[in-house]
């Protein structure tokens, strides 16, 4: 099969990341390779990578990603099983990484990285209705129905995640996005929600088969 025909095959890898999730993830930016067609990823070997120096966090995230990939028809591999976390930047060898990916027969890589965590404070003002003095009976009902509601502050945590999808036949970037998720209750829910939202967005843009 010619190389230009093989490249689109791996572009639908994130389709298999579809999971049920709350709609709290929005995209601040997206990009897709213009020459990529939508196809099925079933049967492909996909390596899941979550870039963080916290080993426990990385393992939990990559296990979740790999499980989602496998559940939707691919052979998902948690990246830490073949690419240990480097102790320092001097040990990052791109040639060694590519060799390991080739060794396991990977068709594509899905990479995630948290790029921001911010607190957003919102103030909702209180409310009081104007007085109505038409008598005891009318004021009784009016007063209860329009009792003062105090203002309040609400603090939300917004986590920004960068997601990249690489096809390994040509070592080509196929998809890139930055997303923002509000108040994720756990790491697993964050990964699942971002993955599901990414798959839907890629499908909407014609990169994945619906």
> Residue 61 is part of a domain; what is its CATH number?
3.40.50
Confidence of residue 89 (pLDDT cuts 50, 70, 90): low
Would residue 82 count as lying in a domain? yes
Residue 131: inside a domain, yes or no? no
- Count structural domains, the chain: 1
| In a domain? residue 137 | no
188 falls within a domain: yes
Residue among 25, 12, 96, 82 nearest 48 (CA): 82
pTM to 2 decimals?
A: 0.73
What confidence score (pLDDT) does residue 119 get?
79
Residue 160: what pLDDT? 94
Evaluate whether residue 94 is within a structural domain. yes
pLDDT score, position 39: 55
- Give the lowest-confidence range in 5-19, 141-155, 194-208: 5-19
In a domain, 13, yes or no: yes
pLDDT, position 12: 39
Of 171, 50, 56, 52, the residue nearest 111 (C-alpha): 50
Averaged over 112-122, what is the pLDDT?
Answer: 87
- Give the angle 54-106-208 at the CA atoms, nearest 5°: 95
201 vs 42, which has greater pLDDT?
Answer: 201
d(CA 122, CA 120): 7
Q: Which two tokens stand for residue 86?
A: 């480097």
Q: Rounded CA gap, 126 and 144, in Å?
A: 16
Cα distance between residue 182 and residue 148, in whole Å:
30
Average pLDDT over residues 21-39: 80
Segment among 7-11, 81-85, 180-184, 194-198 with least mean pLDDT: 7-11
Q: Answer yes or no: is 145 within a domain.
A: no
Where is pLDDT greater, at 39 or 61? 61
Q: Which domain holds residue 82?
A: 3-118+159-204
**132 in a structural domain:** no
Say yes or no to pLDDT of 14 above 50.
no
Q: Using the predicted structure, report yes or no on whether residue 48 has a pLDDT greater than 70.
A: yes
Residue 4 has pLDDT above 80, yes or no: no
Of 83-97, 112-126, 167-181, the least confident? 83-97
């Amino acid at each position: 099969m010619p190389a230009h025909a093989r490249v689109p095959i791996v572009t639908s890898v994130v389709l298999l990341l579809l999971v049920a999730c709350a709609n709290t993830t929005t995209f601040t930016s997206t990009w897709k390779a213009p020459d990529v067609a939508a196809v099925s990823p079933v049967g492909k070997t996909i390596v899941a990578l979550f870039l963080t120096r916290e080993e426990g966090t990385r393992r939990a995230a990559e296990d979740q990603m790999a499980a989602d990939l496998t559940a939707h028809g691919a052979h998902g591999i948690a990246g830490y099983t073949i690419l240990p976390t480097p102790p320092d930047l001097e040990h990052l060898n791109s040639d060694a990484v590519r060799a390991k990916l080739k060794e396991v027969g990977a068709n594509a890589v899905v990479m995630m990285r948290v790029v921001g965590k911010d607190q957003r404070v919102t103030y909702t003002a209180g409310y009081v209705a104007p007085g109505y003095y038409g008598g005891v009976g009318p004021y009784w009902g009016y007063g209860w129905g329009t009792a003062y509601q105090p203002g309040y502050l609400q603090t939300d945590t917004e986590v920004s995640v960068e997601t990249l999808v690489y096809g390994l036949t040509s070592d080509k970037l196929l998809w890139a996005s930055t997303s923002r998720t509000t108040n994720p209750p756990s790491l697993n829910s964050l990964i699942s929600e971002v993955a599901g939202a990414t798959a839907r967005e890629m499908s909407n843009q014609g990169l994945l088969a619906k």
